């Protein structure tokens, strides 16, 4: 069910001692080939962590043999020493696996501004390299080792025609577009060139992770990586592969949403009738980022006025006085006026559906978000301590 499900991959997840709690905190995922093609998308935040700076360079040639991921520290804004730690991590993996350091990616997640201990990382990588396995349990350990405030590991498996896609993900806060504090590793035994992987990954993330906007905050460390071993010997139809990869990414995105910090509602904001898909995304995102709307949903209050106040701030072409808003199937606003009574809406279930019909065109988009809760405030006011 994880990165070890496709043929050609081994993984390990260990407790290297980065987290003071003794929990699993370091994952190593290795592509044993025969092919080592790869692609990745990175945070669009200009404040980029050291592992992002490293990985961007390392993947430039489309060739990746292994990826090291640690929780317990973001290694961001830690200066040249921090970059040295990332470099040392890659070198340690390269040495243990007998590959080039330039073929090793590094991902880190945790608090910004704390220095990681290079020796602990190095020893952890060597220890993980000794425990590499293609077993399902090894992939599960890797999924657990990248967790921060996640309450459960996120994994996925999609079966293709003779090939598989497996994946793991972490991310429970700072989930926002242009990716979001999420680390995702996807593996496949399909045979694909790096350029095809890159196209498929960009298409898949555009409609999945990029549309998960839990709290509007964009991370410094986000990275979604796909590694292809070619071990199945099957060259897939690119459209079919992209579809399967999109399904895998949507599945993981839904798992991230379901485990978002402190959330009590998983909110699906569906925007229809926009002139363009970009307009629909902008409208959906304006709702997803409106604290007043999000607090209302927490309070089981179908406050559609806050939806209209939010979408009125966008530049998308539509007439606010033609808009319909439905919540969990009840149309509470029709043509910019009250429609069905608010008390017909049942917001008790965790799954919440908000439909915004703009009546301005034919385009649509769906944004996933969460409510704003006491627990969100609590978790994020206490994270550093």
Residues belonging to the active site = 181
Residue 280 makes CB contacts below 8 A (sequence gap 6+) with 271, 272, 274, 316, 358, 363, 364, 365
Residue 75 makes CB contacts below 8 A (sequence gap 6+) with 49, 50, 51, 82, 85, 86, 108, 115, 116
220 binds a second copy (CB under 8 A): yes
Instruction: Determine which residue in the list 174, 182, 194, 355 makes contact with a second copy, applying CB under 8 A.
Output: 174
280 binds a second copy (CB under 8 A): no
* Contact letters for a second copy, residues 25-54 (x by CB under 8 A): -------------------xxxxx------
Which listed range, 18-26, 74-82, 132-140, 183-191, lies at the site for a second copy (CB under 8 A)? 74-82
User: Per DSSP, what are the bridge partners of residue 167?
Assistant: 156, 186
Site for a second copy in 330-349 (CB under 8 A): 333, 335-338, 342
* Contact letters for a second copy, residues 176-205 (x by CB under 8 A): --x---------------------------
Q: How far is the CB of 291 from a second copy (least distance, A)?
A: 5
The answer to whether 139 and 157 have CB atoms below 8 angstroms apart is no
Which listed range, 127-135, 147-155, 164-172, 291-299, lies at the site for a second copy (CB under 8 A)? 291-299
222 binds a second copy (CB under 8 A): no
Kindly give the pairing relationship between strand 183-188 and strand 223-228.
Answer: parallel
Instruction: Determine which residue in the list 111, 239, 240, 351 makes contact with a second copy, applying CB under 8 A.
Output: 111
Q: How far is the CB of 340 from a second copy (least distance, A)?
A: 12
Asked whether the bond before 8 is cis by omega within 30 degrees of 0, the reply is no
Query: Rounded to the nearest 10 degrees, what angle do helices 238-258 and 194-206 cross at?
Result: 40
Both tokens assigned to 65: 């043999």
Q: How far is the CB of 167 from a second copy (least distance, A)?
A: 25
* Contact letters for a second copy, residues 115-134 (x by CB under 8 A): x-------------------
User: 96 vs 63, 100, 151, CA distance in Å?
Assistant: 18, 10, 32
74 binds a second copy (CB under 8 A): yes
Alpha helix (H) ranges present in 207-276? Answer: 238-258
> How many Å apart are CA 205 and CA 161, to the nearest integer?
22
Number of residues that bind a second copy (CB under 8 A): 64
Task: Output phi, psi for 143, to 5 deg.
Answer: -65, -35
> How many Å apart are CA 98 and CA 167, to the nearest integer?
25
The residues that touch a second copy, with contacts defined as CB under 8 A, are 44-48, 74, 76-79, 111-115, 173-174, 178, 215-220, 289-292, 295-296, 298-299, 301, 303-306, 308-314, 320-321, 333, 335-338, 342, 372-374, 376-378, 380-385
């Amino acid at each position: 069910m994880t990165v070890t499900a496709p043929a050609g991959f081994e993984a390990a997840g260990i407790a290297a001692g980065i987290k003071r709690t003794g929990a699993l905190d370091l994952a190593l995922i290795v592509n044993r080939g025969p092919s080592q093609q790869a692609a990745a998308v990175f945070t669009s935040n200009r404040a980029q962590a050291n592992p992002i700076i490293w990985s961007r360079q390392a993947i430039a040639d489309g060739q990746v043999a292994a990826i090291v991921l640690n929780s317990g520290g973001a290694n961001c804004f830690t200066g040249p020493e921090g970059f040295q730690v990332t470099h040392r991590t890659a070198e340690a993996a390269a040495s243990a696996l007998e590959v080039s350091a330039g073929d090793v990616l590094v991902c880190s997640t945790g608090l910004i501004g704390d220095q990681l201990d290079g020796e602990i990382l190095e020893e952890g990588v060597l220890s993980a390299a000794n425990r590499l396995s293609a077993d399902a349990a090894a992939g599960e350990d890797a999924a657990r080792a990248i967790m921060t405030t996640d309450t459960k590991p996120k994994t996925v498996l999609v079966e293709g025609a003779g090939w598989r896609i497996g994946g793991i993900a972490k991310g429970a806060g700072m989930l926002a577009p242009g990716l979001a504090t999420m680390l995702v590793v996807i593996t496949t035994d399909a045979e694909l060139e790096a350029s095809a992987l890159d196209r498929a990954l960009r298409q898949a993330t555009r409609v999945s992770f990029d549309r998960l906007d839990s709290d509007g905050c964009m991370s410094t460390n986000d990275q979604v990586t796909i590694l292809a071993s070619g071990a199945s010997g099957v060259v897939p139809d690119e459209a079919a592969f992209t579809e399967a990869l999109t399904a895998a990414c949507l599945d993981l995105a839904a798992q991230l949403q379901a485990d978002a910090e402190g959330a009590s509602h998983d909110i699906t904001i569906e925007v229809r009738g926009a002139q363009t898909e970009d307009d629909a995304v902008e409208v959906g995102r304006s709702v997803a980022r409106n604290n007043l709307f999000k607090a209302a949903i927490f309070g089981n209050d179908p406050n559609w006025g806050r939806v209209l106040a939010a979408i009125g701030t966008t530049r998308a072409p539509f007439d606010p006085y033609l808009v319909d808003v439905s919540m969990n199937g009840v149309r509470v606003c029709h043509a910019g006026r009250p429609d069905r009574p608010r008390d017909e809406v049942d917001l008790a279930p965790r799954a919440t559906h908000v439909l915004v019909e703009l009546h301005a065109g034919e385009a649509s988009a769906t944004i996933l978000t969460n409510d704003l809760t006491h627990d969100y405030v609590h978790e994020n006011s206490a994270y550093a301590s």
